[in-house]
Amino acid sequence: MDGSELTVWGVWEWVQGGIRCSQDLAKQLGLENEFCPLAQWWERVPPLEQAQVQQVWQAWLAGERLDLQVGHGWVLPSGGWRRLWVYGQGWQGQKLGWVLDVTALLAPGGMERDELQTVLDAFPGTVSWIGQDLRYLGVNHQLAHSLNLPVTAFPGQEVGFLSPNPVFNEFVRGVFADPDRYLQRELELQVPVGDGNHKTFLVMAQKYQQGSAAVFVGVDITERRRVEAQLRHSEDRFRRLIEELQVGLQLWGAQGEHVLSNRAALEILGMERGRLDQIGLYDRGWNVIDEQGQPLSSADLPVARVLADGQSVRNLVLGVYRQRYQDRVWLLVTAEPQVDEQGQVVQVICTFSDITERRRVEQALRESRERYALAVAGANDGLWDWDLSANEMYFSNRWQEMLGYREGEISPNPDEWIDRIHPEDRDRVRNELSAHLTGLTPHFESEHRVVHRDGRYHWMLCRGLAVRDTDGQVYRMAGSQTDITRRKQTESQLRYDATHDSLTDLANRALFLECLEKALRCHYFSRQDGVNFAVLFLDLDRFKIVNDSLGHMSGDRLLVAIAQQLRRCLRSGDVLARFGGDEFAILLNGVTSALDATLIAEQIHGAFKEPFPLGADGLEVFTSASVGLVLGPGHYLRPEEVLRDVDAAMHEAKLRGKACTVVFDHAMYTQALRLLQVETDLRRAIEREELCVFYQPIVSLLTGALTGFEALVRWRHPQWGLVSPGEFIPLAEETGLILSLGRWVLHQACDQMRRWQRTLPGTDQLSISVNLSGRQLLQPHLLEQVGEILTDTSLDPQFLRLEITESVLGDYDEAVTILKKLKDLGVDSCIDDFGTGHSSLSRLHRFPIDRLKIDQSFVSQVEHDRESGEIIRTIMSLAQSLHMDVTAEGVETRAQRQLLQSLDCQYAQGFLFSRPLPSAEMEALIQHLPHW
């Protein structure tokens, strides 16, 4: 026999469902793979040994044995067999082991001394080889070393020749006395050690060579026995602890068998442990009902439910009938599953406590509340009771009905009340509550609005009183709530009637004076200079004729119709009043200039150009109004002073021919004269060559390269110097001069762009953007004008972009038609100052627009105003979805540029790149090939 064939030594690891062997071990055992399922392992064990081997393995895997030690045969795929010793132990949460092939020891016939020693030394632990004459045939080095002897001192010596151990000697004799030639036995042996203690060994014996010899392997299990003793002690302490628990605790097995019940569980259930063992979980003798009194089957019991689905059951209320006491006990039950490594439920821990007394108290409390509810049901007021220590609030059924809710729909939380109070009243109510709770007021009383379920607010009168303990601390507060909505409505109607004209439903003189005084007071406290309100005073022209000819009833109808028309001319926040007769007054809040006020006055005059209907018979009347205007606050301190001057201005309007507006303020009068002069001078400005065109670069934010220009008109007045476009452009719009002015600017810009393209390198692909007013866009001959200018200047249409404002898009059908024709001509369009107008986003995609321009009011605030940044972000998102380019106006800082670049804005213009420059200066800039 070759020495290399004496033993097979390899390690293995237990994994879920089987054994993972080392590569060498798997090869020597004849396994196809390193992983061997446990069922396949059994197949390799001889049938006569399978039951015993499986029993040892299962006990070890279940934790009933600390170590695995078993010997058995092993059938190889080739038909041969081996004799194996299998060892296993737990280590850091893993189960590891090794396999020793002892076939050579058990083979018939002898072996050489060296071969024998090699086999013996391969065993773990102490090993001795003894013949049937009870003499040693050999030992391994570990045993010899433990006795301080060489291995050669043992062969031929009788067992126990050093210090006879009667127990071991008797065990050896018993092994050889047994007729079984392949006997396996175990002996737990106490062996004294030098320090007066002893060690525990597990000695395993295996006969071989037809029973003529046996191998005795000794494994030190001292530590194992110590751990087992500690485990038993821990289990004893755990059992004592369970027994001392005041709550019931039970363990149930996977088949519904009773495993354990502590003393509290037996007392609560009124049962003996033997009775529970007898009936088990699924017995029909259980009489259990749920919280609503419905009987439960055994399958619906908490433990059964856990066994069925593996899910915990927590805080379930059950009523269990106790046969011993002939009563029912109420339990709060929790059941938790305990699972094995495969996730299968192996047992259930069930805990429960007796809540019968608590149920009785809760029932008594419910009955008490029912009596209280009956007592307050007859009261029309809603009642509330606030427990401040628990911060819970009781709301009576009537209290909830007042707000449109049924009983129980509002939780007992004080916030349910506070959060329903109108936001304008909420802080006041909190302060009133705090004043009473801190003792500043003898009782709590508050009138406030509370939101109803239907979304409307109801007025409530809430009264309450705090209850204090002996230390003066508030622990409770109770009160009532009364719906006073009708009373408030009546009061409001009375106040309204006292301040409004009964015929037109407008404010009367008294309310108007109150509003005007408030406007003056606001200016006084803010101490801001300039105009912040205006007053218009209207007197109908020839109203007396209507009264005298058609009668006072028709006159009243005319006054009502005029009041309705005036309302449509005003903004939100303006005040319109009838002073009596045919006089009306208007307070314009928030106006900042005479122009703002006069524009509204002109709008009013425009409304009077249409006839006013006087009834169902189709009668219509034309009339007009003379209007006086005063800008405030000026030097005024009292509202009567304002009315005095605006009345004088109105009479001046009468003197000037009626149907006009006269501004009383001398500074505004001077400004009006200036505007008149501006109009006159503007008509001659083109002829006198006072107008000129400046150019501002438009830059690519992606490359920093120049992509084009915007043409901007400027007026150099011989007396006033450079006049702001904001001053003369609106006037040009109003007077119609914008048509000739716009045509001149368009021609100048196209001509200049073409000359640059011809003379300056790198400008052949640059474009020019020209502003187009609403009146220009909608004029009948715009397409012909644009075509003529392009032809006259030889500018390719693709290098012209016309910029229009959002307001132009209001005239949808006509604007779309014109823009499409411009597109067919090859001219691109751009919406200027996007975000400041009122274009319809739902129709924006139908306009043939190529680019959007973000107004500089958003760009200038983007670093400091989050709202402006969000508006720009929204515009960018809209443009991207509509496949439009975006240009940002008014870029003045690098931070603005970087933010726009981060939002993928394509183009920008502003002082960061260049101010608007005359053509000569711009030409010099272009020659330097600018790159920003």
What is the 3 state secondary structure string of 190-251? Answer: EEECCCCCEEEEEEEEEEECCCCEEEEEEEECHHHHHHHHHHHHHHHHHHHHHHHCCCEEEE
What's the whole-number average pLDDT of the chain? 86
When mean pLDDT is compared over 423-432, 658-667, 871-880, the highest value belongs to 423-432
Mean pLDDT of 422-429: 95
- What does the angle CA 641 – CA 645 – CA 648 come to, to the nearest 5 degrees? 145
Lowest model confidence (mean pLDDT) among 43-47, 225-229, 793-797? 225-229
Q: Does the pLDDT of residue 681 top 60, yes or no? A: yes
What does the pLDDT read at residue 105? 63
Of 13, 11, 12, 14, the C-alpha closest to 62 is 14
- H helices of 760-865, in order, are 774-777, 782-793, 812-825, 841-844, 856-859
Give yes or no for a contact between 433 and 409, defined as CB atoms under 8 angstroms apart: no
What does the pLDDT read at residue 249? 92
Identity of the residue numbered 728:
F
- Residue 2: partners with Cβ closer than 8 Å, 6 or more residues away: none
Instruction: Please state, as a whole number, how many other Cβ atoms lie within 10 Å of the Cβ of residue 194.
Output: 5
- Cβ burial of 105 (10 Å; 0-12, 13-18, 19+) is buried
Of 237, 268, 234, 236, the C-alpha closest to 250 is 268
Query: Two tokens at 449?
Result: 């609005």
pLDDT in tens, 227-240: 777 877 777 787 78
Mean pLDDT of 640-667: 83
Could you write out the DSSP letters of every residue in 731-784? Answer: HHHHHTTHHHHHHHHHHHHHHHHHHHHHHSTT-TT-EEEEE--HHHHTSTTHHH
Instruction: Output phi, psi for 406, to 5 deg.
Output: -90, 165
pLDDT in tens, 331-386: 999 999 999 877 889 999 999 999 999 888 888 888 877 776 676 666 678 899 99
Question: Across the chain, how many H-helices and E-strands are there?
Answer: 32, 40
Task: Look up tokens 């802080």; give the residue.
Answer: 427
What does the pLDDT read at residue 6? 40
Q: How far apart are CA 655 and CA 662, in angstroms?
A: 10
Q: How far apart are CA 139 and CA 119, in angstroms?
A: 10
Instruction: Output phi, psi for 393, to 5 deg.
Output: -130, 125
pLDDT band with cut points at 50, 70 and 90 for residue 770 = very high
- Residue 198: partners with Cβ closer than 8 Å, 6 or more residues away: 190, 191, 192
Q: How far apart are CA 490 and CA 492, in angstroms?
A: 5
Mean pLDDT of 748-765: 94
Q: How far apart are CA 864 and CA 526, in angstroms?
A: 25
pLDDT in tens, 90-122: 765 678 888 877 776 665 455 566 766 776 676
Lowest model confidence (mean pLDDT) among 281-285, 528-532, 567-571? 528-532
What does the pLDDT read at residue 508? 93
H/E stretch holding 448 reads strand 444-451
Q: Does the pLDDT of residue 2 top 50, yes or no? A: no
Of 827, 760, 818, the C-alpha closest to 799 is 827
What does the pLDDT read at residue 454? 94
Give yes or no for a contact between 579 and 647, defined as CB atoms under 8 angstroms apart: no
User: What is each CA distance from 622 to 487, 587, 617, 693, in whole angstroms?
Assistant: 44, 25, 16, 47
What does the pLDDT read at residue 809? 67
Lowest model confidence (mean pLDDT) among 291-300, 323-332, 680-689? 680-689
Cα four-point dihedral sign 672, 673, 674, 679: positive
Q: How far apart are CA 408 and CA 400, in angstroms?
A: 8
Mean pLDDT of 745-756: 95
> For the chain, what percent of residues have pLDDT higher than 90?
42
CA R_g for the chain? 53
- Cβ burial of 166 (10 Å; 0-12, 13-18, 19+) is exposed
Give yes or no for a contact between 634 and 601, defined as CB atoms under 8 angstroms apart: no
pLDDT in tens, 490-545: 988 888 888 899 899 999 999 999 999 998 888 776 666 778 899 999 999 888 88
> For the chain, what percent of residues have pLDDT higher than 70?
92
Q: Does the pLDDT of residue 668 top 50, yes or no? A: no
When mean pLDDT is compared over 75-79, 575-579, 727-731, 867-871, the highest value belongs to 575-579
What does the pLDDT read at residue 471? 85
Tally of residues, the chain:
932
pLDDT band with cut points at 50, 70 and 90 for residue 1 = very low
pLDDT band with cut points at 50, 70 and 90 for residue 915 = very high
Could you write out the DSSP letters of every residue in 249-315? Answer: EEEEETTS-EEEE-HHHHHHHT--HHHHHHH-SS-TT--EEETTS-EE-GGGSHHHHHHHH---EEE
What residues form DSSP beta bridges with 183?
Answer: none
Q: Does the pLDDT of residue 914 top 70, yes or no? A: yes
Q: How far apart are CA 535 and CA 541, in angstroms?
A: 19
